[in-house]
Amino acid sequence: MKTHLLFNLFATFLLADGLNIEDSAGQFFSSGHTNNWAVLVCTSRFWFNYRHVANTLSVYRSVKRLGIPDSHIVLMLADDMACNHRNPKPATVFSHKNMELNVYGDDVEVDYRGYEVTVENFLRVLTGRLPPSTPRSKRLLSDDRSNILIYLTGHGGNGFLKFQDSEEISNVELADAFEQMWQKRRYNELLFIIDTCQGASMYERFYSPNLMALASSQVGEDSLSHQPDLAIGVHLMDRYTFYLLEFLEDIHPASKANMNDLFKVCPKSQCVSTPGHRTDLFLRDPGSVLITDFFGSVRKVEITTEAIDLTEPIKEVEERPANGDVHKEMHSYVDQLPVSEIIHQKPKQKDWHPPDGFILGLWTLILLVFFQTYGIKHLRHIF
Amino acid sequence: MATTEVERRRGQLAALSIAAVVIIVGVPLWWRTTETYRAWLPVSQIKELAKLQLQLSADVEVVFARGTVTPEQQKKVPLTQTQEEEHAIDEDTALRYRYETRYRTATIMEEDALNQPTAAEADLSLHTLSESPCGSLVVYVIPVSSSLLPEDVNVYIGQRRTALLRIGPQMRVGKTLEQLLAHLEPRIKQVLQVMSFSHTDITAALSDRVRFSPDNKESIADSMRAFKSSPGYEITFSLLNPDPKSHQLHWDIEGAVETYIQPLLTKLSPVANFSIDSQTLYYAMLGVNPRFDASRSAYTLNADSLAHVINPVEARLGSNAASSNPVLNFLLYVPDAHHSPLYIQGRKKQEVPSNAFHSPRWGGIMVYNVNGFYGSKTDFPVDININMAKVMGVFLAQLRLLLGVQSSTPPPGFLVAPCGSTGLADWELDRLMWSRSVENIATATTTITSLAQLLDQIGNIVINDNIAQQVSSAVTSLQLAVAELEAGNLGFALQYSKEAILASEKAFFDPSLLHLLYFPDDQKFAIYIPLFLPMCVPILLSLLKIVSEARQRRRDRKAKND
C-alpha cells in the first residue's frame, strides 16, 4: 500500500517535470497561428462623434504597443478629429478627461480616411476583392495561419451598423463576409469586438467556425459614453472601450491573461449596459486563449540548427559594357494636372442633351398661340 | 340605354386590355430589366471537381549491381511491376499512389561507376551516365559486402535522383526472384517515402480541403513553418548596424546573392518567381536587452526573449508596396561594441553554433559578432568586411526551411548526401514539386467550388464575361493538371496547377463580385407595394366585376331557358 503511494507520488513528480519541459514547446502548438492582423474601424463622422474615433485610436494604440506592426493593421477612421476645426487642441485625440492620455500620438498610420470608409470598402478589405491598384497597406493580406482582430465602433441598431450617416451594414452581410473569408481560409481565428448600441445583434448571425465575438451591449440596450471633457466639449470615450483600454494597459507582450478575463471587462455596474460575448463557434476553450493571441504579435521562433557549408568564393559581378549597347529609354511622367487646358480654356465639346424644361415650355407656348390664332384646319394652306 | 351599354362595353374592353398589357408586356419587361447579367459558368464540371480523386504516379528504376542477383534470377529480369495504394481522406477526397517499378541489371559503365571508393564519388560518376526525368528515381542495389557505404548505413541518397541500397544479408544465397523482390519492396518504399512523396506530406498539402489534425508535433510545426504556395515571393536581406560610430560594415551582398542564392532560386523557378532586394538599417536595435554571462564572458540572448526581438524591428523593415506576394526577411545583426560578443542560447541553455534563429512564415535573423576582428585599442570606426560565405550558409539553410524544401529527419540507416552547390538536391526539388502541385490543385478546387456555391446562393451578383472566362480556364487547367499527375509528368502538372490557381484566384477576388445587395423580404415588399398596388387594385376590381357580371348573365340566360 505504501509502496503504491510512493510510486504514485514519484510518477506524478516525473510527469510534472516532463510537462514543464513540454510546456515551453507546447506554446508553439497551442494557438496555431503565425501572424496577427487587426482591422479597426470607426464608422461615424462629425465632431460630436469624437468618442468613436478615440475608441478606435485607443485600441490601435494598445495593439501597436503589444507588437502588431503598422503593416499588419488596417485602420479606418471616418472623420478627422485631430485636425478638426473645432478641436481646441489640434493634432491630439484624448481618451481621458483633463487631457491625460493622447491616443493620437506621433506615428498613427490611417489606411482608410474620411469618405473612404464605406461599407463597400470595408467588405472589400475583409473579402480581399480590392482593385489591383490598391497598395499593400490598404490590403488585408492574411493567410490561413493569421489571427485577426476586428473592432467596430459607431452608431448601431438591431441588426445594423451605421456608416458615415448615410449607409448601413447588416449583420447578415457581415456574417456572409466572414463566411467568404473562411472559404478562402483567410483567417485561423477571428476575434470580433463591437462597441455600439445593441451590439450583440451584430454577431447573432455568424455561422463560420473559429469566430469569437464580444459586444458592449445586448439587443434593446444602448451603449453609453463615459466622460465628457469640458474643455473639448464632447464625450471622449465610450464606457466599454474605456474599461477595455484600462484592462489592456495592464497587458504586456509576455502576459498570460486569457479570454475569460476579457469577458469580465466592464460589468454592468460600470458599463450600465450588459456586455455580451459569443464563443460557441470557437474551437478552443476561451480559457486557453491568450489575450496576446489577438491583441499582440508574439512570434514563434525556432533555433536554426543547421547551416550549409559554402566553399565557393564570390563571383565578381561583371561590369556592363560602358558603350552605347544599353539604350536608355526616356520616361516622362503623365501630365497630372492639365494646366495647358485650364489656361487656354478651350471650349469643351458638350454632349447633346435633349432640350430641358424651359425651352420645351417656351416652344409649347409658341405653338399653342400659333394654332390658336390660325387653327389647325388652316395648316394645310400654310404648308 | 344603348350608349350606357356601349360605354359599359368600352369600359370592360379597356379594363381587359389594360390587364392584358400589364400581364403580357409589363411583367416580362420588369423581369428583364431587374435581371442581373450572369454569364454562363461550367457548373457541372465544377461539381465534378468538388470530388477530388488524385492519382500520383512515380517511376522507379531498380538496378541490380553485380553480386546481388544470381544468374538464374538474372534471366527473369528485366521486368516491370505496378503497385497501387489507395487512401480515402474524407468523403470528397481520395488519393491513389501508383508506383511503376522497372527492374534491370546494371550496364558495364554503371558497374564501373559503382566501383569508386566512396559513395559520393560513385554518385557523381553515375550522374554523368544518365539523366533521370523529373519525378522519377533510380535505385542501385549493391551487395552486402560492398565497401561503398559505411557499416551502419544501408541507404545512401545522392544529390540527383539516385539512391544506393545495400541488400540485406539474408538474401545472399539460394532465394528465388520473387523472394528477392518481396524483400526489396518495403525497403524501396521507404526510400520512396524519403525521396519522392510520403502520405503525410501529401495530406499536409491538402490542408486547404481537409482540415487535418496530424498525430505528431513535428508535422504540425512543419506545416506551420513553410510558406503556402504562392506564384511569387519577395526576399529581403537587411543588414542591421546599431553602432555605425564603431563599426563601418561592408558586405558584398550583390556578389553573395549572385553566387550563393541565385542558383537555388533559378532551380526553383518552375515553382515560383522570386524577387530579391537588400537594405542597410542604421541605429536599429534589437528590442530586448541581452544578459551578460560571466562564465562565457559574453552577452547572451535566451530562447524565450527571441520571440520579442522581431516586432520592434519589423516596423522599420518596409516592403515592396507594389506586390502582394509574401515576404521573406533575412536580417543580419551586428551587435554594437558594448554588447559584443552576443550569443544565442537554446531553450536548455545550450550553445547555438549558427548563432541564428528563424520564425515560421516570416524569415530569419543571424547575429554576427565582429569583436574578433579588431583589438581593444583601435580607432573607431573600424572597417569590417563581413564573411558572406558563412552568412549565406545560414541564410540558405533558413531559406530552405521556410520554403518547405527541408524534409523531416530520414529513418535510421539512411545517409543523405549534402545538397550540391545550388543548395538543393534534385529529389528535394521533386518532393517540393509534388507537394506544391497537390497543394495548388487542392486550393484551386476549393476556390472554384466555393465561388460557384457563392454565386449560386446569392442571385444578385453580376457575373461578367471575364469572370466566366477565368473560371472556365481554371477548370480546364485543373483537369489537365490532374491528368498530368496521373500520367506522371510532374513538370507539366505543376505548370498547369499554377495556371489553375492564378485563374481561380483572379476569378474569386475580382472586385466586381461584391455582394452589397442584401434585401430582406420585408424591404422588397416595401419597395414594390407602393409602385404596383395602386395600379393593380383598379384592374383587379374591374376584372372581378366583369367576371361577376358574366356569371350573372349566364345565370339569367339559364333561368330564361328553363
What pLDDT score was predicted for residue A21? Answer: 37
* Lowest mean per-residue pLDDT among A17-21, A49-53, B327-331, B438-442: A17-21
Other CB atoms within 10 Å distance of the CB of residue B331: 24
State chain A's mean pLDDT as an integer. 84
What pLDDT score was predicted for residue B347? Answer: 82
State chain B's mean pLDDT as an integer. 85
What pLDDT score was predicted for residue A24? Answer: 39
**Looking at the complex, does the CB of residue B432 fall below 8 Å from at least one CB of chain A?**
no
What pLDDT score was predicted for residue B325? Answer: 87
What pLDDT score was predicted for residue A125? Answer: 95
Q: Residue A201: is its pLDDT beyond 90?
A: yes
pLDDT digit string (tens) for B26-80? 889 988 888 878 888 898 998 888 888 888 888 888 888 887 777 777 777 788 8
Q: Residue A9: is its pLDDT beyond 70?
A: no
Q: Residue A1: is its pLDDT beyond 70?
A: no
C-alpha angle B71-B76-B77 in degrees, rounded to nearest 5 = 90
**Looking at the complex, does the CB of residue A123 fall below 8 Å from at least one CB of chain B?**
yes
Residue B186 shares a structural domain with residue B234: no
Q: How far apart are CA A134 and CA A121, in angstroms?
A: 11
- List all residues 6 or more positions away from B176 whose beta carbon is below 8 Å from its beta carbon: B73
- List all residues 6 or more positions away from B185 whose beta carbon is below 8 Å from its beta carbon: B83
* Average pLDDT for B158-169: 83
pLDDT digit string (tens) for A356-371? 788 888 888 888 888 8
What pLDDT score was predicted for residue B206? Answer: 84
Count of residues making up chain A? 383
Q: Residue B18: is its pLDDT beyond 50?
A: yes
What pLDDT score was predicted for residue A25? Answer: 40
Q: How far apart are CA B18 and CA B24, in angstroms?
A: 10
Q: Which of A35, A69, A312 lies closest to B315 in CB terms?
A: A69
Q: Letter for the amino acid at A305?
A: T
The C-alpha cell that represents A344 in the structure block:
487656354
Q: Do A315 and B321 touch (CB under 8 A)?
A: no
- List all residues 6 or more positions away from B114 whose beta carbon is below 8 Å from its beta carbon: B65, B106, B122, B126, B140, B142, B146, B148, B164
Residue B13 shares a structural domain with residue B91: no
The C-alpha cell that represents A180 in the structure block:
467568404
Residue B331 shares a structural domain with residue B380: yes
pLDDT digit string (tens) for B522-554? 788 888 888 888 888 888 888 898 889 889 999
Q: How far apart are CA A167 and CA A170, in angstroms?
A: 10
Q: Which of A308, A310, A317 lies closest to B255 in CB terms?
A: A317
β partners of residue B84: B98
What pLDDT score was predicted for residue A213? Answer: 95
Q: Which of B347, B418, B419 lies closest to A24 in CB terms?
A: B347
- Label residue B173 by pLDDT band (50, 70, 90): low
Residue B123 shares a structural domain with residue B268: no
Residue B477 in any domain: the answer is no
Nearest to B196 by CA among B463, B488, B516: B488
Residue B301 shares a structural domain with residue B332: yes
Residue B60 shares a structural domain with residue B197: yes
On chain B, the residues whose CB falls within 8 A of the CB of A145 are 224, 361
- Residue carrying the nine cell digits 533510380: B138
Q: Residue A12: is its pLDDT beyond 70?
A: no
Q: Residue A19: is its pLDDT beyond 50?
A: no
* Average pLDDT for B159-182: 78
Q: Residue B154: is its pLDDT beyond 80?
A: yes
The dihedrals phi and psi of A323, each to the nearest 5 degrees, come to: -80, 175
Please spell the DSSP secondary structure of A164-188, one letter per residue.
TTTEEEEHHHHHHHHHHHHHTT--S
The sign of the torsion formed by the CA atoms of A211, A217, A218, A219 equals: negative
Please spell the DSSP secondary structure of A78-99, one letter per residue.
SS-STT-TT-SSTT--BSSGGG
Residue B188 shares a structural domain with residue B234: no
Residue B542 in any domain: the answer is yes
* Average pLDDT for B170-182: 73
pLDDT digit string (tens) for B321-333? 677 888 999 999 9
Q: Letter for the amino acid at B257?
A: V
For residue A316, the distance in angstroms to the closest alpha carbon of chain B comes to 6
Nearest to A174 by CA among A127, A139, A117: A127
Residue B129 shares a structural domain with residue B234: no
- List all residues 6 or more positions away from A287 whose beta carbon is below 8 Å from its beta carbon: A258, A259, A260
Q: Residue B214: is its pLDDT beyond 70?
A: no
Q: Residue B22: is its pLDDT beyond 90?
A: no
What pLDDT score was predicted for residue A162? Answer: 94
What pLDDT score was predicted for residue A151? Answer: 96
pLDDT digit string (tens) for B237-252? 999 999 899 889 999 9
C-alpha angle A60-A61-A67 in degrees, rounded to nearest 5 = 90
pLDDT top residue among B140 and A22: B140
Question: Which residue on chain A is closest to B395 by alpha carbon?
Answer: A307
Interface test with B, best of A207, A300, A311, A312 (most B CBs within 10 A): A300
Which of the listed residues B393, B417, B441 is the one where a domain comes to its end?
B417
What pLDDT score was predicted for residue B469? Answer: 93
The C-alpha cell that represents A382 in the structure block:
400654310
Residue B245 shares a structural domain with residue B132: no
What pLDDT score was predicted for residue A2? Answer: 60
Helix, strand or coil, per DSSP, at residue B287: coil
Residue B512 in any domain: the answer is no
Residues of A belonging to the active site:
155, 197
β partners of residue B357: A303, B365
Residue B134 shares a structural domain with residue B276: no
Residue B373 shares a structural domain with residue B234: yes
Annotate B495-529 with b (16+ C-beta within 10 A) or e (fewer): bbbbbbbbbbbbbbbbeebbbeeeeeeeeeeeeee
Number of domains in chain B: 3
On chain A, the residues whose CB falls within 8 A of the CB of B454 are 180, 183
Interface test with B, best of A119, A142, A170, A299 (most B CBs within 10 A): A299
* Average pLDDT for B9-15: 85
Residue B508 in any domain: the answer is no
How far lies B221's CA from each of A29, A95, B97, B359, in Å?
7, 42, 25, 11
Which of the listed residues B417, B452, B483 is the one where a domain comes to its end?
B417
Q: Which of A68, A310, A316 lies closest to B389 in CB terms?
A: A310
Q: Give the domain range for residue B13.
A: 1-35+518-559
Annotate A101-114 with b (16+ C-beta within 10 A) or e (fewer): bbbbeeebebbbee
On chain A, the residues whose CB falls within 8 A of the CB of B260 are 310, 312, 314
The C-alpha cell that represents B160 in the structure block:
540527383
Residue B3 in any domain: the answer is yes
Q: Residue B1: is its pLDDT beyond 60?
A: no
Longest Cα–Cα distance of chain B, Å, equals: 136
Helix, strand or coil, per DSSP, at residue B333: strand
Q: Do B259 and A315 touch (CB under 8 A)?
A: yes
What pLDDT score was predicted for residue B171? Answer: 65
- Label residue A126 by pLDDT band (50, 70, 90): very high
How far lies A22's CA from each of A16, A28, A29, A30, B301, in Å?
10, 10, 11, 12, 21
Tell me if the bond preceding B411 is cis, omega within 30° of 0. no
**Looking at the complex, does the CB of residue A302 fall below 8 Å from at least one CB of chain B?**
yes
- Label residue A235 by pLDDT band (50, 70, 90): very high
Residue B482 in any domain: the answer is no
* Average pLDDT for A30-43: 89
Residue B96 shares a structural domain with residue B189: yes
Nearest to B403 by CA among B438, B368, B378, B428: B428
Q: Residue B350: is its pLDDT beyond 60?
A: yes
Residue B540 in any domain: the answer is yes
What pLDDT score was predicted for residue A122? Answer: 95
Helical (H) or strand (E) element with B137: strand B136-142
Helix, strand or coil, per DSSP, at residue A206: coil
* Lowest mean per-residue pLDDT among A8-17, B200-209, B344-353: A8-17
Q: Do B364 and A304 touch (CB under 8 A)?
A: yes
Question: Which residue on chain A is closest to B323 by alpha carbon?
Answer: A136
What pLDDT score was predicted for residue A7? Answer: 52
Nearest to B54 by CA among B85, B33, B75: B85
- On whether the CB atoms of residues B358 and B402 are closer than 8 A, the answer is yes
pLDDT digit string (tens) for B132-146? 888 888 888 888 877
Q: Residue A276: is its pLDDT beyond 50?
A: yes
What pLDDT score was predicted for residue A379? Answer: 60
What pLDDT score was predicted for residue A14? Answer: 45
Which of the listed residues B417, B445, B468 is the one where a domain comes to its end?
B417
Residue B423 in any domain: the answer is no
pLDDT digit string (tens) for B478-494? 999 999 988 888 899 99
Q: Do A315 and B419 touch (CB under 8 A)?
A: no
- Residue carrying the nine cell digits 550563393: B260
Q: Residue B378: is its pLDDT beyond 90?
A: no
Alpha-helical regions (H) of B404-460:
426-457
- Label residue A238 by pLDDT band (50, 70, 90): very high
